[in-house]
A and B are shown apart, each in its own frame.
Chain A
Amino acid sequence: MGEREIMEYDVIVVGAGPAGLSCAIRLKQIKPELMVAVIEKSSEIGAHILSGAVIEPEPLDRLLPDWRDDPPPVCIPVERDEIWLLKPSKRYRLPTPPQQKNHGNFIVSLGAMCGWLATRAEALEVDLFPGYAAAGIHFREDGSVGGVIIGDMGVGRDGQPRDSYVEGIEIHAPVTVLCEGVRGHLSKQLIRRFELDRHSDPQTYGIGMKELWRVQPGKSSPGLVQHTTGWPLDKSIYGGSFIYHMDKDRIAVGFVCGLDYADPEFMPFEAFQQFKHHPMVRDMLEGGEILSSGARAISEGGYQSLPKTEMPGALLVGDCAGTLNVPKIKGTHQAMKAGMLAAEHIADTGRAEGFDAKLRGSEVVQELHQVRNIRPAFYKGFWRGFLRAAIETVTAGKLPTTLRIHADDTALRKLDEYTPPDRHWVQRELPPRDRLASVYFAATAHDEDQPVHLQILEPDVCTTRCPVEYGNPCTRFCPANVYEMVEDDAGTALQINAANCVHCKTCDIKDPYQIINWVAPEGGSGPNYQNM
Chain B
Amino acid sequence: MKILIGIKRVVDYNVRVRVLPDGSGVDLDGVKMSVNPFDEIALEEALRIRDAGKAEEVVVVSIGGDPVQQQLRTGLAMGADRAIQVKTDAELQPLGAAQAFLKIVEREEPGLVILGKQAIDDDNSQTGQMLAALWGRPQATFASKLVLNGTSARVTREVDSGLEIVDVDLPAVITVDLRLNEPRFVKLPDIMKAKRKPLDVVTLEELGVDAGSNVSVTHCAPPPQRAKGIMVDDAAQLVQELKNRGLL
Contacts and interface: CB of A to CB of B under 8 A. Distances in A.
Interface in A439-470: 440-441, 443, 445
Interface in A166-215: 166, 168-169, 171, 214
A393 B188 CA distance: 49
A5 B186 CA distance: 14
Contacts of B184: 164, 166
B188 A129 contact: yes
Interface string A147-175: 00010011000000001101011010000
B187 A169 contact: yes
Given A530-B32, A531-B29, A169 B188 contact: yes
Given A43-B32, A111-B30, A445 B187 contact: no
Contact of A73 (B30, B32, B183, B187): B30
A486 interface: no
Interface residues of B, number: 20
Interface stretch (B15-23, B55-63, B82-90): B15-23
B30 A531 contact: yes
B14 A443 contact: yes
Contact of A528 (B12, B183, B187): B12
A281 B217 CA distance: 37
A48 B32 CA distance: 12
B185 A47 contact: no
A163 B16 CA distance: 29
A154 B185 contact: yes
Q: Chain B interface mostly helix, strand, loop or mixed?
A: loop
A305 B186 CA distance: 40
Nearest to A6: B189
B31 interface: yes
Given A291-B18, A441-B16, A445-B14, A530 B30 contact: yes
Interface in B92-134: none
A367 interface: no
A44 interface: yes
Contact of A164 (B31, B182, B188): B182
Nearest to B222: A289
Chain A CB within 10 A, most for which of B14, B15, B30, B185: B30
Contacts of B16: 440-441, 443
B221 interface: no
Contacts of A249: 21
Contacts of B189: 5, 7, 169
Interface string A317-334: 000000000000000000
A109 interface: yes
A440 B14 CA distance: 10
Contacts of A112: 30
A389 B102 CA distance: 71
B188 A47 contact: no
Contact of A530 (B31, B186, B188): B31
Nearest to A163: B182
Interface in B171-186: 182-186
A47 B12 CA distance: 12
Nearest to A530: B30
A531 B30 CA distance: 6
A275 interface: no
Contacts of A154: 185
Nearest to B29: A531
Contacts of A153: 185
B192 interface: yes
A164 B32 contact: no
Interface of A: 5, 7, 43-44, 47, 73-74, 109, 111-112, 115, 127, 129, 131-132, 150, 153-154, 163-164, 166, 168-169, 171, 214, 249, 291, 440-441, 443, 445, 528, 530-531
22 contacts: A7-B188, A7-B192, A43-B32, A47-B32, A74-B30, A109-B30, A111-B30, A115-B30, A127-B191, A129-B191, A131-B186, A150-B188, A154-B185, A164-B183, A166-B185, A169-B188, A441-B16, A528-B12, A528-B14, A528-B15, A530-B30, A530-B31
* CB-CB nearest 3 A-B residue pairs: A153-B185, A531-B30, A530-B30
